[in-house]
Amino acid sequence: MTTCSLCELPTPDPPITDEAVDGEFCCHGCLEVARSVGSLEATSPDDAREELRSDTDPDDLPDEYDEQYLHVDGMHCATCEAFLESTAVENDGVGAATASYATDTLKLHYDPDAVDSDRLPALVSGYGYDATERSLEEDSAVAGDVAVAKFLIGGGFFGMMTMMWYVLFIYPKYFGFEPLIDLSGFDGLYLFTQLWLLASLVLFYTGYPILRGAYVSLKAGEPNMDLLVAVAALGSYGYSTLAMGLGRTDLYFDVTVAIILVVTFGNYYESRIKRRASDLLSELTAIQVDEARRPDGTTVPVAEVQPGDELLVRPGDRIPVDGTVAEGVAAVDEALVTGESIPRTKRPGDFVRGGTVVTDQPLTIEAGEDADSTLDRLVELLWEIQSSSPGVQRFADKLATIFVPLVLTIGAVATVGLIATGASPAAALLTGLTVIIVSCPCALGLATPLAVARGIQTAANHGLVVASDTVFERPIDLDAIALDKTGTLTTGEMEVTETVADDPEAVLSAAAALERAAAHPVADAIVAAAAPETAAANEHNEADRSAMTDGGVATAGWADSAASMGTVDTLERGVRGEVDGADTLVGHRSLFGEGEWNDPEEYLTAADRIAADGAVAVVVGWSETIQGVIAVGDEPKADWEGVVSELAADDREIVVLSGDNEAATQAFGEHPAVDQVFAGVPPEAKAATVRELRSKGRVAMIGDGSNDAPALATADLGIALATGTKLATEAGDVIVADGTLEAVPSLLTIIEKTNSRITQNLGWALCYNAVAIPLAVAGLLNPLLAAVAMGTSSLLVVVNSTLRSLD
């Protein structure tokens, strides 16, 4: 196996070469690095990468520089990161670049006046790399699955043929039966040659990723699971090849095949984790605003928006950048970014966040000082979390750092010792091989993936989708559980919870007749409560509203109503119009000016109580008298109290995080199991809160919205509800398919039992080796018995992993 002249990783066959550059390389990145740095003799891989990396600090770039994230296929090693970064900054307009081999992502800082964002992928593509916008990367994930499947299926086919020949012709002789063919004659040589070819294909084709991983672990000085597998597979393969050349019939190609296939199948899970990590940013990228509209109706790319520019945002549109309201009054839905369930009314001078949605009236905003978006900052935060995280190393890999050198040393000492005491080289090598085979890592290799597979299956039966198999490899001794409020502890949908009035039906009907002219969640809830059968009529689009309204005045006849209404005026904090001949006003209590309306004390008291409970108090009046108050809020889920009590078991700290105000979260803080409630928390603060909790112990985060994604990615265990956004589910380690909380306590039980099962499997494997290796050294085992012992050990691990319940 040849190695790269620069990074010293294994090269493909044939290796990457160029007549103008001395050496053979594993990828085009290393070739171009060698071309750039010149002589390789005086250059180490680390020095070469440092020489290529730009000294430019992104923080030192001018404020007008923007950021762009690209997905890059073809990154092969850490050298590729340096090469892509150096290639990118050579282009005019690109000030800095940061590549992440772990997530196949390239982050570019560029000057939008010098280079168009659409041209960036082409600037860094080539030399074996293919850069695309992140929204296209789902196809690459599918391609990755196909590539892994090719290795697994190809090895399975050749492995099945190998095992079939062993069952028909070789195993009978091992057990004292007359073989079907003469293994010492030409037929035997023909059979053994086939076995050698089939085992070679499995070892060097299917097992190539394992062999490469083993080599890399040796280069890094950190023996891992791949090295453990490679030693056993290569040992049995090498001995069998030598024995076949010497005319022996005790061949162990079956051991090689079994080891490679079992571990390759287990490693298949890991390959999916990297691709999932590279997809984490796609949802936010998809909803980022590409264009901004100026007051004259023309549109410009968001990248061209300068601080102080005035932008027009129509009802239903997403605000392109952070800024302040210059003209207009409208309700703005900030749930996506802040998690706050109730829309906020924005007036001239108020701050508005990029990525939030204007619901009812047009706004003219003035772009902020940085002319950037809160969503952009969320993308940046997720990038930092995903790119800086080293991941969780398997426990078996940690064991391998001790176990592998120990086994190799024992095998070598046994072989040398026997030769020194007069044993024949063949007998000595056979003893050394027996040590390796009997310590074969199949049990260690199966301990984790089989238990994990069982855990995933059991979780699926409870409606839980496990997105990361490492969930089961870590102890579930959680010290704290943080829960989002909106959409997690609550339904996430506004609805009428109470109507305080002498005639509730009449109050709801009158309010709904006017609120149909509005387009925000509170209005939708009132309309739905007044006439559930016509609630679907409220799902109108901008064209419908345009036909209905003219300058903020709505005309009757847009939707059926239980009451007859005329024109409707949309006010700053409510609506006003004529319903059944009466002047009717619906909205905030401040609209009912002091002394202008007859205000029964009971209704004002009810409004204060409703607001104190965190709901929206909608006051309804006509004929100059307040007729009632409607409470609109985000209802808690029916199961939240019982689930929180279960989660608080084992002295876990329960923390509620919400973008809503303190009044909306007060009811949750009163639960005896809830230790702390943090209200008005933006996404960045949610992630920071989780990090603070992690400084004291292990933390789980449960959420459903895009605003929860950074916190979910930061937590030791991220649990996402599938009823939320795609970004949240991709950031979670586990996804609750039905969006309820009932399955979460079951998840913790499944994780605890699966982790315990893994520990049992590893414990058995180590105890087995502690007994079997000394027996092999003492000459009390031969390779056949060693293989049988190894197989029995693996079978026990299989039984323990798959046949015992985790419920």
Catalytic residue among 66, 484, 716, 733: 484
Give the Cα separation of 524 and 444 in Å (integer): 57
- 622's CB contacts (< 8 A; 6+ apart) are 510, 579, 582, 583, 584, 585
46 catalytic, yes or no?
Answer: no
Among 9, 18, 16, smallest CA distance to 45 is for 9
Q: Smallest Cα–Cα separation from 215: which of 530, 450, 3?
A: 3
Angle of CA points 568, 571, 575, to nearest 5°: 45
Mention every residue, 6+ apart, whose C-beta is less than 8 A from residue 296: none
Phi, psi of 210 (to 5 degrees): -70, -45
Tokens, residue 536: 């679907």
Contact indicator for 571, 591 with CB cutoff of 8 Å: yes
* Contact criterion met (CB below 8 Å) for 628 and 658: no
In angstroms, how far is CA 532 from the centroid of its own chain? 38
Torsion of CA 636, 639, 643, 644, to 10 degrees: 20
3-state SS record for 45-112:
HHHHHHHHCCCCCHHHCCCCCEEEEEEEECCCCHHHHHHHHHHHHCCCCEEEEEEECCCCEEEEEECC
User: In the structure encoding, which two tokens stand for residue 252, read together?
Assistant: 């162990």
Strands (E), 563-652: 565-570, 574-579, 582-587, 616-622, 625-636
479-502 burial: b if 16+ Cβ within 10 Å, else e = bbbbbbbbbbbbbbebbbbbbbbe
Q: Tell me how far apart the alpha carbons of residues 667 and 264 are, in angstroms, rounded to a whole number.
A: 51
DSSP SS3 for 338: helix
| CA–CA distance, 220 with 21 (Å, rounded to integer) | 26
Distance CA 3, CA 785 (A): 37
Q: Which of 42, 72, 95 is nearest to 34 (CA)?
A: 42
Q: What is the full DSSP assignment across 718-753?
A: EEEETTS-HHHHHH-SEEETT--STHHHHHHHHHHH
Q: How many residues does the chain have?
A: 807
Catalytic residues: 484
